[in-house]
C-alpha cells in the first residue's frame, strides 16, 4: 500500500505520461534550491527535536487549520495560540485526532498531497490517515522525531537542500544565522531582508520600529536621508551575517511611486508622526519599493514583491489570535499602472532583479507576461500561496509562457514554514512542470532535447539566476 | 440514430473515460435534488397539459431566444410577450419553425445539449432538429403533451425528483404551494423567500410593496423595527405554508453592510421616501443581506446571494418586453471587500449557511475559494447561468477545489424555469463532476474509493446539507 | 530533419489527434482571408525585394525584439530606429547573429512556431536556428530574397491569399492602393479606415490633423457637423480608392458615449482647442465610436474596436524610439458599462457589424459572450496580439462558445506586419480550432458532420461575413 502514486500529476495519456516521467526522472534528484521561505533558523542553530506531530503538522500550518475552521472546528481546539495567552488545547494527541478525523476535508487539495508525501517519504507511513489510524500515526511520528535522523539538520541533509532562505525582519539580530555559521555545519541557511515593520506606516509600532532601526545602525532615522542610510546599513548587515541574497516586501497592492526627494521626505515625516491617510501610507510603501530597487542596484540584492493579500479579513480572529491565521484573502491587483513609477525609474537596468508574486491569476496573461516579456529587470515568481498547486502551476505556465517564455520566470519557491513539506512541494512543482513540458513536446511546440534543458532550468538554474546564487 | 452520445462529456483517453463512466454509473440513478429554481408551482397544483412545443421550449427560455436575437431574429417573431400587450407572433408552429431552422446556432452550447437530451429522453425523438424536421418535431411533441404521461406531475415523478424548490416574492400568497399540499400528491415542491421587491429601493413600486408587506403581516412597516419584524413573519409563513428552506437575493453587487441600528433606520426612511441615491440604495440592499443572515441564525433558512448581474442592459428592449429577456449581462464583482461586513458580523457562526453564486469566474481562485476555505458559514454555490455548462463546471472545480476542497461547496442547482431541461442539466453536472474526479484519480490526486464517495456527495449530499434538507 | 511537427497543436490522445487531422485536412488548403492587418501596401505596389533577413524578421517584429530586450539586449543593437535618427546597428548580419544566439528565449512561444514555420515552408530551411547556424541562415534567406519567387507579389500568390487588408490613417492618400489597382495585378490588397489621429484628442498634432482632414475633404472641420461630414467623405474615399470594408479604432478603453448633438459639439471644440481633460478626451473618443457606428449603418463599413492597450509604458523608450516598440501593455478593460451607450443607440440594428477585440481575457465568459450572445450587431473578434496563440485560442473558444456559439464570432485575423508569418498564423489558428472541434465531437458536444461545417465557417465564412466580403 502506498500513500502516493509514482505517476502522480503526469497526464493519463500513455505517451504523454511516459515523456513526463522521463523528463521528471532527469530532474528528480537535483538538489532543492529554496531561495524564499519562512522556516525558523533556530531549528538549524539548536538542532533539537521537533516537539510532537501536532506542532509539526497542524498548529503552524495555516493551510491545515483554515480548512478545519471552514467546517466549524475552533482554532483553540487546534491549539493555535491566543494573543492574550488564554487557554487553548494543550494535548497534542487530541489535536492530532481532530485533524485525523477531518482529513477527508483535504481531498483534492495540495495539502493532502504534501501531507501524504511527508507521511510516506519522511516518516515511512503507508496507511491513509483517518480517525482509525490517528493514534498509530501519532505514535509512529512521535517516535521517529525522537531519533537523530529526524533532527532539523538531519532532515535538511536528507532532503538534499542546496540552500534554504529564511525571512527576518529588518530589526532582527540574526543570532541564529550567526550560530549556524559558527557551528561549522555545512548546511546553507541564509536570511532575507524583510523590512515591512519599518517600511509600512500602518504596521503596529511603526515609529518606534524606525527609532530602533536608528539605534541599531547609528543613523539618524528621524531624517529621510538617515532612514534610507539605515536601510543600506541593515541590508549590508543581512548580507554579511545572514548571507542574504534578496529583500522581500509584502504589500496589499503592487503600488510603486517615484516621488521627488522633498515629497518623499515629507511623506516620511507624516508616517513617523502617524498622520498618514491610508492613501498616503500606500504611497509611502510604494515609494519604498522604488528606493529598495535603487539600493538593489548598489548591493545586488534581488527585490521580491509579494503583493495583493488583504490580511486579517476577520477582525475578531485577528483580535484573539493575531496575524497569519488563515484569514488573509487575495484581492484584485493591478500591475500595469502600479509598477509604472518603479519601472520608469529603474526598469531598464539589466543587472537589477525584481521578482513579482501575485495572488491574482487574472494578471498572468494580461499584465504579467507582457511586462516581464519586455522589461529587463522583471522576473515572474512562481505561483504563490493558494496557487502553489498542480492546477495553479498549470495555469501559470499556460498563461505566461507564450508571451514571457521560460527565461523571464524565476524557478520555484516553496515559501513555507512547514519544513517537512519542502520536498513534497518541490516534487509537485517538478512534476507539474514536466507534465507541461511533455505537452509542449507532444504538440510540436518544443523540441524534446530543448524540453530536457528547460526542465533543468526550471528546477535549479532559473532560481539560482534570479537570486544571484553561485 | 441518437441525439446524444452515451459517453458525452467523458474524456477521450480510454482509461479516463472508463473511470468516468464507472463513477457516473454510481450516481446516474440518484434522485434529483433541486433546491433552487424558477419553475411555476401552478403547474404542479393544476397539473394541466403544457400548451404546445413553442411555449414549452422557446418562449420562456431566455437562453434560447437570446441566441436567436443575437443573429437578428425579433423577439416578437418568437412570441415573446410585449409589456404593452401589443401583437406578437401567435402561431406556435411558426415560432417552432423559426427556432428549428436556426438550431445550428446552438452548436457547441449547453442549450443544444439540454435540448437534445430532452428531445431524446423526454420525448423519444431521434432525428436532429432542423428546418426539415421542424413539423415532425412539433406534431410529435404536441401529441405527447396531450397524454397523461406528460403532465407536470407525471414528468416530475419520471424525472425522479426528490425536491423541487420554486422562488416566490415576499408578497406571494403561496396559493399554489398550499394547493399542492392539500392535493395529497406526493411530490415535494417547496418555495424560496425572494424579497427583492421589498428589499431593493430601486425596485418598481418599492414603497407600495413595503406597505403591502405591512398589510400582510400586521406589522408597522413604516418603521425599521416593524419592517424587520414583517420579514420575520413572512419567512415563517414561507416555511410553514411553502416548506421554504432558503431565502434568495439577486443583487447587482455582493455588497453587504453592518450599519448601526440608527443608520439603518435612517436609510430605510430614505428608501421609503424614494430619495436614496444609487449608492445609498446599494448600501440598503447590503444592509438587508446582513439582516437576513441574522434572521437565518434564528429560523435556519439558508441565505443565497446571487450577485453580479447588470440587468436590462438594453433600455429599449426593457421598455417593450420587460425583465428577464436575455439582456442581463454579468459584470466584474468583488467579494473580499463586499462581504466583509456580513462576515465580520456573523461569518464565524457554524450553523449559518450563506451560499454564494457568481457570474464572475475570475473570483473563483482569487476570492471565493480562499473565503469559503476559512469562513464556517460560507458554501460555494455551483456555476450559475452562463457558467452552468461543461466548461463552466470544469473551470469551477479546477479553480476552487485546491483551496476550498469539496466540502465547502453546495452541490448542484439547475436554477431553471425550463422544466424539461432539469434532468439534462443534472446529467451534465454529474457527468462533468465525474470527469473531473476521474482526472484527479488518474493523476494521483484522489484515491479511487474516495472519488466514489465524493461523487455521491456532489450529487446529493452536499445539496441536502447546504439547504438543511433531511 | 524538420523544423515543424506535421501533427503540431493536435491533442496527444490518438483518437482526438486523428479527428483533428481530418478536420484540419479539410480546411488546410482553403485560401487565406486576412481582413485586418498591418502589412505595407507599398510592398505590393512596388514589388521590389525585401532588403535582408534582419529587416524581414527582426527589426519590424515587436514580438521578436521585445523578448530580446527583456533579457537585456538593447533596441539599438537590434537596429530598431531612433526617433532622433541617432545611430543604431547598421549591419544586418550582426543583428541576425544576435537574434540567432538568443533564439532559445522563444522556446514555447508562438513566435518560435511562426518563425520556424516561415523558415521551413517559405525558405526551405531544416536546421534549428542557433548561433552555429546563424550565418548559414542569413546567407540562405538573403539569397532567396533576391529571386523573383520571393518578391511580395510572388509570396502573396504562393501564400494563397484571397484578400489582404492593410490599415491606413484617415489622412493617407492611398497612393499605393491606387498603384496596385492601376497595375492590373490580380492580388486583392484593400485598406482599412483608421482615424485615430483625427479622433483622439490626445494624439500628437490632433488639431492640425483635423485641419488637414478639412483641407482634404473640402469640409469645414472646425465645426462638429463639418467634421462628421469630413469623416463620411474620407470613408467613401477609402471605399472607392482602397476597397475598404471596415474602419478600425485603437483606444485605451472600450468607452462609448451617446451625447446630445450640443454636448458632442462642445466637446469637439474643447478637443480642437487642446483643453480636454483626460476624462473628456476619453469621452470624445467614445462619442466617435458611436458616430462611426452610425456612419457604418449608412455605408456598410464594419466597425472594429481594438481596446485596452496601455501604450508606451516606458517613457524613456517612447522618447528614444517612439511608438510600437514592445512597451504596449494590456490592462483591465470593461465592456458591459463602456459599450452600453453605443449598444443602446444602435446595438439592435441587424445590418450593423461591430467587431470587438480585447487584451483582457477575463471578459470572455463574463462580458463578451453574454453581450455577443444577444446583441445582433456584435461579433467577437479572434484572440488578439498576446493572445493570438494556441493557448489563447483555446481559452477563447472554451470561454465564449458555450454562451455565444460560433456564429457570433468573426473568424481569424492575423493582424500582423510580419508578412512571412501570415501563413504560419492562419495555420496555427486552423489547427487550434480543429483541435478544439475534435474535442467537442469526442465528448459528444458536437456532431462530426457539424464539426466539418463549422471548421469551414471558422476558416473562411465567418471572416467573409464579418467584413461583408463576397
- For residues B75-97, one letter each, b for 16 or more C-beta atoms within 10 angstroms of the residue's C-beta and e for the rest, the string is beebbbeeeeeeebbeebeebbb
Q: How far is C116 from chain B (nearest CA, A)?
A: 30
Across all residues in chain B, what is the average pLDDT? 97
Do A156 and A422 contact (CB within 8 A), yes or no? no
Do A421 and A157 contact (CB within 8 A), yes or no? no
Contacts of A13 in chain C (CB under 8 A): 12-13
The answer to whether B359 contacts C375, with C-beta atoms less than 8 Å apart, is no
Q: What is the pLDDT of residues C28-49, one digit of tens each?
A: 999 999 999 999 999 999 999 9
Same domain flag for B260 and B301:
yes
Q: What pLDDT is attached to residue A352? A: 98
The answer to whether B331 contacts C366, with C-beta atoms less than 8 Å apart, is yes
By C-alpha distance, which of A200, A429, A419, A392 is closest to A307? A200
Cell of A99: 485533524
By C-alpha distance, which of C445, C366, C436 is closest to C400? C366
The answer to whether A107 contacts B405, with C-beta atoms less than 8 Å apart, is yes
Q: How far is A138 from chain C (nearest CA, A)?
A: 44
Find the mean pLDDT for residues A203-222: 97
Q: Does B316 touch chain C (CB under 8 A)?
A: yes
Category of C351 on φ-ψ map: left (φ > 0), alpha (ψ -120 to 50) or beta = alpha
Do A71 and B407 contact (CB within 8 A), yes or no? yes
Contacts of B105 in chain C (CB under 8 A): 405, 407
Give the gyration radius of chain B's Cα atoms: 22
Q: What is the pLDDT of residues C353-399, one digit of tens each?
A: 999 999 999 999 999 999 999 999 999 999 999 999 999 999 999 99
- Please give the C-alpha separations between residue B109 and each of B392, C39, C118, C445, in angstroms, as whole numbers: 11, 36, 36, 8
Beta bridge partners of C194: C169
What's the residue count for chain A? 470
d(CA A383, CA A389): 8
Identify which of A374, A446, A447 has the shortest CB distance to residue C66: A374
Q: Does A104 touch chain B (CB under 8 A)?
A: yes
Q: Judge whether C8 lies within some domain.
A: no
Residue B470, pLDDT above cutoff 90? no
**Bridge pairing between strands A32-34 and A168-169:** unpaired
Same domain flag for C345 and C429:
yes
Compute the half-sphere exposure of residue B4: CA atoms within 13 Å on the CB side of its CA: 23
**Nearest residue in A to C109, CA atom:** A402
> Please, which pLDDT band fits residue B162 given cuts at 50, 70 and 90?
very high
Q: What is the pLDDT of residues B353-394, one digit of tens each?
A: 999 999 999 999 999 999 999 999 999 999 999 999 999 999
Q: How far is B438 from chain C (nearest CA, A)?
A: 15
Same domain flag for A93 and A194:
no
Quick one: C66 exposed, middle or buried, by C-beta within 10 A (0-12, 13-18, 19+)? buried
- Please give the C-alpha separations between residue C341 and each of B174, B313, C86, C283, C286, in angstroms, as whole numbers: 41, 10, 46, 11, 9
Sole residue written with cell 440592499 = B285
Same domain flag for C401 and C277:
yes
Find the mean pLDDT for residues C117-133: 98
List of residues 6+ apart from B222 with CB closer than 8 A: B211, B214, B272
Find the mean pLDDT for residues A343-347: 98
Same domain flag for A359 and A416:
yes
**Nearest residue in A to B12, CA atom:** A13
d(CA B291, CA B295): 6
Same domain flag for A123 and A38:
no
Find the mean pLDDT for residues C50-64: 97
The answer to whether C376 contacts B72, with C-beta atoms less than 8 Å apart, is yes
| A168-169: strand order across its sheet | A168-169, A193-194, A246-251, A302-307, A354-358, A378-380
**Residue among A405, A434, A440 with most chain C CBs within 10 A, to mutate:** A405
Cell of A465: 539566476
Q: Does C183 touch chain B (CB under 8 A)?
A: no
Q: Does B83 touch chain A (CB under 8 A)?
A: no
The answer to whether C376 contacts B331, with C-beta atoms less than 8 Å apart, is no
Domains: count for chain C: 2
Torsion sign over Cα A355, A360, A361, A365: negative
Q: What is the pLDDT of residues A287-324, one digit of tens each?
A: 999 999 999 999 999 999 999 999 999 999 999 999 99
Q: What is the pLDDT of residues B423-440, one digit of tens each?
A: 999 999 999 999 999 999
The answer to whether C366 contacts B359, with C-beta atoms less than 8 Å apart, is yes
Q: What is the pLDDT of residues A17-32, one digit of tens each?
A: 999 999 999 999 999 9
Q: What pLDDT is attached to residue C263? A: 98
Q: Judge whether B417 lies within some domain.
A: yes
Residue B2, pLDDT above cutoff 80? yes
- Return the number of other C-beta atoms located less than 10 Å from residue C6's C-beta: 8
**Nearest residue in A to C114, CA atom:** A445
Q: Does B404 touch chain A (CB under 8 A)?
A: yes
Q: Judge whether C1 lies within some domain.
A: no
- Please give the C-alpha separations between residue B58 and each of B28, B150, C57, in angstroms, as whole numbers: 28, 18, 54
By C-alpha distance, which of B134, B116, B135 is closest to B124? B116
The answer to whether A332 contacts B408, with C-beta atoms less than 8 Å apart, is no
- Please give the C-alpha separations between residue C205 and each of A118, B343, C197, C251, C277, in angstroms, as whole numbers: 66, 53, 8, 17, 16
| CATH code, B55 | 1.10.2020.10
List of residues 6+ apart from A46 with CB closer than 8 A: none
ipTM surpasses cut 0.90: yes
| Binding-face residues of C in 14-33 toward B, CB within 8 A | 15-16
By C-alpha distance, which of A187, A205, A257, A227 is closest to A44? A187
Q: Judge whether A5 lies within some domain.
A: no
DSSP letter, residue C84: T
| CATH code, C314 | 3.20.20.140
Q: Judge whether A55 lies within some domain.
A: yes
Same domain flag for B28 and B145:
no
Contacts of A328 in chain B (CB under 8 A): 370
Contacts of C436 in chain B (CB under 8 A): none
> Please, which pLDDT band fits residue B128 given cuts at 50, 70 and 90?
very high
Contacts of B390 in chain C (CB under 8 A): 402, 443, 445
Contacts of C358 in chain B (CB under 8 A): none
**Nearest residue in B to C347, CA atom:** B314
Q: Judge whether A217 lies within some domain.
A: yes
Find the mean pLDDT for residues C133-137: 98
Q: Does C62 touch chain A (CB under 8 A)?
A: no
List of residues 6+ apart from C355 with CB closer than 8 A: C246, C302, C303, C304, C305, C378, C379, C380, C381, C410, C466
- Return the number of other C-beta atoms located less than 10 Å from residue B171's C-beta: 15
- Return the number of other C-beta atoms located less than 10 Å from residue C277's C-beta: 10
Q: Using CB atoms, list chains with 3+ pairs below 8 Å to chain A.
A: B, C
Contacts of B344 in chain A (CB under 8 A): 314-316
The answer to whether A12 contacts B403, with C-beta atoms less than 8 Å apart, is no
Find the mean pLDDT for residues C436-461: 98
Contacts of C405 in chain B (CB under 8 A): 67, 105-109
Across all residues in chain C, what is the average pLDDT? 97
Q: How far is C352 from chain A (nearest CA, A)?
A: 30
Q: Does A446 touch chain B (CB under 8 A)?
A: no
> Please, which pLDDT band fits residue C177 given cuts at 50, 70 and 90?
very high
Q: Judge whether A291 lies within some domain.
A: yes
Of B118, B150, B182, the residue that ends a domain is B150
Of A97, A117, A150, the residue that ends a domain is A150
> Please, which pLDDT band fits residue C470 given cuts at 50, 70 and 90?
confident
Same domain flag for C171 and C294:
yes
Q: Residue C33, SS3? A: strand
Residue A1, pLDDT above cutoff 90? no
> Please, which pLDDT band fits residue B13 given cuts at 50, 70 and 90?
very high
Same domain flag for C120 and C230:
no
Same domain flag for C125 and C82:
yes
Q: How far is A20 from chain C (nearest CA, A)?
A: 13
Same domain flag for A247 and A361:
yes
DSSP secondary structure letters along C199-266: H-TTSTTHHHHHHHHHHHHTS-TTSHHHHHHHHHHHHHHHHHHH---EEEEEESS-------HHHHHH
> Please, which pLDDT band fits residue A470 given cuts at 50, 70 and 90?
confident
Q: What is the pLDDT of residues B409-418, one digit of tens each?
A: 999 999 999 9
Of C89, C122, C150, the residue that ends a domain is C150
Do C179 and C153 contact (CB within 8 A), yes or no? no
**Bridge pairing between strands B32-34 and C32-34:** unpaired
The answer to whether C332 contacts A369, with C-beta atoms less than 8 Å apart, is no
Q: Does C408 touch chain B (CB under 8 A)?
A: yes
Torsion sign over Cα A46, A47, A52, A58: positive
Q: Count Cβ–Cβ pairs < 8 Å, chain B vs chain C.
A: 124
Q: What is the pLDDT of residues A247-274, one digit of tens each?
A: 999 999 999 999 999 999 999 999 999 9
Same domain flag for B77 and B43:
no
Beta bridge partners of C378: C354
Q: Count Cβ–Cβ pairs < 8 Å, chain A vs chain B.
A: 123
Residue C275, pLDDT above cutoff 80? yes
Beta bridge partners of A284: none
Helices within C334-459 (DSSP H only): 340-346, 363, 369-372, 390-404, 422-442, 448-456
Q: How far is A429 from chain B (nearest CA, A)?
A: 14
The answer to whether A350 contacts C72, with C-beta atoms less than 8 Å apart, is yes
Find the mean pLDDT for residues A186-197: 97
Sole residue written with cell 523544423 = C3
Identify which of B348, B371, B450 has the shortest CB distance to residue A107: B450
Q: Judge whether C5 lies within some domain.
A: no
Across all residues in chain A, what is the average pLDDT? 97
Q: Does A101 touch chain C (CB under 8 A)?
A: no
Quick one: A240 exposed, middle or buried, by C-beta within 10 A (0-12, 13-18, 19+)? exposed
User: Containing domain of residue C80, as a range?
Assistant: 50-150
Amino acid at each position: 500500500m502506498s500513500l502516493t502514486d509514482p505517476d502522480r500529476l503526469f497526464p493519463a495519456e500513455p505517451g504523454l505520461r511516459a515523456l513526463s516521467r522521463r523528463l521528471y526522472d532527469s530532474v528528480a534528484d537535483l538538489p532543492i534550491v529554496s531561495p524564499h521561505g519562512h522556516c525558523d533558523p533556530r531549528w538549524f542553530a539548536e538542532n533539537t527535536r521537533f516537539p510532537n506531530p501536532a506542532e509539526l503538522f497542524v498548529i503552524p500550518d495555516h493551510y491545515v487549520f483554515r480548512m478545519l475552521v471552514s467546517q466549524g472546528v475552533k482554532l483553540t481546539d487546534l491549539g493555535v495560540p491566543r494573543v492574550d495567552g488564554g487557554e487553548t488545547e494543550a494535548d497534542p494527541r487530541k489535536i492530532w485526532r481532530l485533524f485525523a478525523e477531518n482529513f477527508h476535508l483535504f481531498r483534492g487539495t495540495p495539502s493532502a498531497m504534501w501531507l501524504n508525501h511527508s507521511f510516506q517519504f519522511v516518516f515511512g507511513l503507508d496507511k491513509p490517515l483517518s480517525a482509525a489510524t490517528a493514534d498509530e500515526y501519532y505514535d509512529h511520528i512521535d517516535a521517529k522525531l525522537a531519533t537523530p535522523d529526524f533532527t532539523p539538520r538531519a532532515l535538511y541533509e536528507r532532503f538534499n537542500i542546496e540552500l534554504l532562505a529564511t525571512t527576518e525582519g529588518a530589526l532582527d539580530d540574526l543570532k541564529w544565522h550567526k550560530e549556524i555559521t559558527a557551528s561549522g555545519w555545512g548546511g546553507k541557511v541564509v536570511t532575507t531582508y524583510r523590512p515591512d515593520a519599518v517600511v509600512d506606516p500602518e504596521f503596529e509600532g511603526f515609529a518606534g520600529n524606525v527609532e530602533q532601526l536608528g539605534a541599531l545602525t547609528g543613523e539618524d532615522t528621524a531624517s529621510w536621508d538617515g532612514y534610507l542610510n539605515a536601510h543600506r546599513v541593515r541590508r549590508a548587515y543581512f548580507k554579511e551575517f545572514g548571507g542574504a541574497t534578496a529583500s522581500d516586501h509584502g504589500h496589499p497592492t503592487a503600488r510603486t511611486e517615484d516621488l521627488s526627494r522633498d515629497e518623499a521626505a515629507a511623506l516620511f515625516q507624516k508616517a513617523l508622526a502617524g498622520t498618514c491617510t491610508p492613501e498616503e501610507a500606500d504611497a509611502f510603501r510604494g515609494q519604498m519599493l522604488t528606493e529598495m530597487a535603487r539600493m538593489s542596484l548598489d548591493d545586488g540584492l534581488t527585490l521580491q514583491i509579494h503583493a495583493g493579500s488583504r490580511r486579517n479579513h476577520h477582525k475578531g480572529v485577528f483580535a484573539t489570535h493575531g496575524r497569519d491565521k488563515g484569514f488573509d484573502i487575495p484581492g484584485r491587483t493591478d500591475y500595469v499602472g502600479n509598477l509604472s513609477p518603479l519601472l520608469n525609474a529603474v526598469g531598464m537596468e539589466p543587472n537589477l532583479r525584481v521578482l513579482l508574486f501575485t495572488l491574482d491569476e487574472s494578471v498572468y496573461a494580461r499584465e504579467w507576461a507582457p511586462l516581464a516579456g519586455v522589461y529587463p529587470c522583471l522576473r515572474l515568481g512562481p505561483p504563490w500561496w493558494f496557487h502553489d498547486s498542480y492546477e495553479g502551476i498549470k495555469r501559470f505556465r499556460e498563461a505566461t509562457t507564450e508571451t514571457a517564455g521560460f527565461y523571464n520566470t524565476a524557478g520555484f519557491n516553496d515559501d513555507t514554514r512547514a519544513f517537512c513539506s519542502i520536498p513534497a512541494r518541490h516534487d509537485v512543482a517538478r512534476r507539474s512542470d514536466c507534465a507541461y513540458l511533455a505537452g509542449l513536446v507532444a504538440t510540436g511546440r518544443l523540441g524534446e532535447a530543448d524540453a530536457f534543458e528547460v526542465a533543468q532550468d526550471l528546477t535549479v538554474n532559473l532560481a539560482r539566476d534570479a537570486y544571484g546564487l553561485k
